[in-house]
């Protein structure tokens, strides 16, 4: 047997409570030994990882990959390559494509494109309702059979509580996982940023926190009633974190994530009408940001990218008309390490939120164990990227295959 020898890496795996400098030996895409070389076989190549971190591959619970339908913004190849270069080995792709991912044929197309790209693996999120219109149930069983890891309505509103209840009951019957966004469309209608003093000063329509918390309360109560497996996508405020904590204390099995942008920025970034920060959910107050960071440090929230690339002109429009969403992959690892270096996130909590917690939500295995498929990122914490920020992914391994770097 021939081995790839990764030498002198700082191996950090929260799922195995592992943090030590050691060697790893790989063969045929799997970990064959951690520490000492196996008795048999030869070393085919050695990767010197002195000073580097070897961490479990990141799992992104929400990204917009633009294909099919919006390839002028990016393709599955370009976006999964960007994801791999940020340390992600698996990416949950939102169904907001054209056509919408509400049929097995669209899902199969996405999976074929992903396999051909050979970068981060795409984990499709199928449309919860037909055309994401929020009224008629999509072919849930057909979509999951085609390869969808969960169903989502991609922040598009579900018609009413009655429809949501029926969707959750159907999902519970077939044990289908739901990714739900907490957003009351009536309360958030017309809003473009967090409702607060900054929005008032700038004359921009605000989105109140209650647009999220009222919708979240409804989801929590219906999940409790129906027994549906629910993951809450991209919470944005302190009250939501507290509500989820209370729900878990009452025995409800419900997971959640927060977008990286909401951990890094507040509504103050909107000053100057910078369209880059027109995002959903909106950037909220500093107290909200601190509460979300605390929830990540407590192991209560996963971190997603909520990556959404647009053409440059679409983000340079007047703020209210600027395209919603922000491209996160290019700066993701730098932003993450800034939070760690500033003491706002612990390294272990950050890695836990990007590997173990997402894996738990998807019922995937993660981490480093002998015999397991190798999904990992090798990070240089001191190297400066092209934007002058410390932190760079040196290599990403997807199912043992080292993806190419840009």
What is the per-residue pLDDT for 222? 98
- Report residue 404's pLDDT band, with 50, 70 and 90 as the boundaries: low
Task: Tell me the per-residue pLDDT of 329-376, one tens digit each, with 9 for 90 and over.
Answer: 999 999 999 999 999 999 999 999 999 999 999 999 999 999 999 999
On the question of pLDDT at 406 being above 70, the answer is: no
Average pLDDT over residues 197-216: 97
Task: Tell me the per-residue pLDDT of 126-144, one tens digit each, with 9 for 90 and over.
Answer: 999 999 999 999 999 999 9
By the 10 Å C-beta count (0-12 exposed, 13-18 middle, 19+ buried), 204 is classed as buried
Rounded Cα distance, 240 and 233, in Å:
11
- Compute, in degrees rounded to 10, the torsion defined by CA atoms 144, 77, 180, 137: -40
Return the percentage of the chain with pLDDT > 70, whole number: 99
On the question of pLDDT at 227 being above 70, the answer is: yes
- Report residue 386's pLDDT band, with 50, 70 and 90 as the boundaries: confident
Rounded Cα distance, 30 and 33, in Å:
9
On the question of pLDDT at 385 being above 80, the answer is: no
What is the per-residue pLDDT for 388? 75
How many residues make up the chain in this entry? 406
What is the per-residue pLDDT for 389? 77
How many other CB atoms are there within 10 angstroms of residue 388's CB atom? 7
Instruction: Tell me the two tokens of residue 277.
Output: 């920060």
On the question of pLDDT at 249 being above 50, the answer is: yes
Report yes or no on whether pTM surpasses 0.85. Answer: yes
- Domains contained in the chain, CATH given: 2-53+367-402 (2.30.40.10), 58-362 (3.20.20.140)
Average pLDDT over residues 181-204: 97
What is the per-residue pLDDT for 137? 96
Average pLDDT over residues 291-319: 96
* Tokens 């917009």 -> residue: 64
Average pLDDT over residues 5-13: 97
When the pLDDT of each residue in the chain is averaged and rounded to a whole number, the result is 96
On the question of pLDDT at 164 being above 90, the answer is: yes
């Amino acid at each position: 047997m021939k081995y790839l020898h990764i030498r002198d890496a700082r191996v950090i795996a929260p799922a195995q409570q592992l943090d030590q400098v050691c060697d790893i030996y790989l063969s045929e895409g799997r970990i064959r030994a951690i520490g000492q070389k196996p008795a048999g076989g030869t070393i085919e190549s050695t990767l010197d990882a002195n000073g580097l971190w070897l961490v479990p591959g990141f799992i992104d619970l929400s990204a917009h990959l633009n294909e099919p339908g919006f390839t002028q913004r990016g393709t599955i190849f370009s976006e999964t390559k960007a994801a791999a270069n940020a340390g992600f080995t698996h990416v949950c792709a939102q169904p907001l494509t054209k056509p919408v991912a509400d049929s097995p044929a669209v899902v199969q197309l996405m999976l074929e494109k992903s396999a051909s790209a050979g970068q981060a693996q795409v984990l499709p999120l199928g449309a919860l309702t037909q055309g994401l219109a929020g009224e008629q149930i999509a072919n849930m069983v057909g979509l999951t059979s085609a390869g969808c890891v969960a169903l989502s309505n991609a922040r598009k509103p579900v018609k009413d509580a009655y429809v949501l209840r029926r969707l959750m009951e159907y999902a519970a019957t077939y044990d289908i996982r739901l990714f739900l966004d907490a957003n009351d469309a009536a309360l958030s209608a017309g809003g473009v940023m967090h409702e607060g003093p900054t929005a008032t000063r700038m004359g921009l329509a605000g989105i109140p926190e209650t647009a999220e918390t009222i919708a979240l309360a409804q989801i929590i109560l219906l999940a409790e009633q129906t027994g549906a497996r629910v993951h809450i996508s991209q919470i944005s405020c302190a009250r939501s974190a507290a509500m989820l904590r209370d729900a878990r204390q009452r025995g409800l099995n419900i997971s959640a994530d927060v977008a990286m942008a909401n951990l890094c920025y507040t509504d103050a970034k909107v000053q100057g009408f910078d369209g880059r920060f027109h995002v959903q959910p909106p950037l909220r107050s500093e107290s909200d940001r601190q509460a979300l960071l605390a929830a990540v440090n407590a192991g209560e929230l996963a971190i997603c990218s909520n990556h959404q690339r647009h053409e440059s002109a679409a983000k340079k429009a007047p703020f209210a008309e600027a395209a919603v969403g922000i491209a996160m992959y290019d700066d993701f690892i730098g932003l993450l390490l800034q939070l760690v270096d500033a003491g706002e996130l612990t390294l272990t909590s950050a890695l836990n939120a990007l590997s173990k917690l997402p894996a738990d939500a998807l019922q995937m295995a993660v981490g480093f164990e002998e015999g397991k498929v190798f999904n990992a990122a090798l990070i240089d914490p001191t190297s400066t990227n092209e934007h002058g920020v410390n932190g760079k992914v040196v290599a990403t391994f997807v199912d043992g295959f080292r993806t190419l770097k840009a």
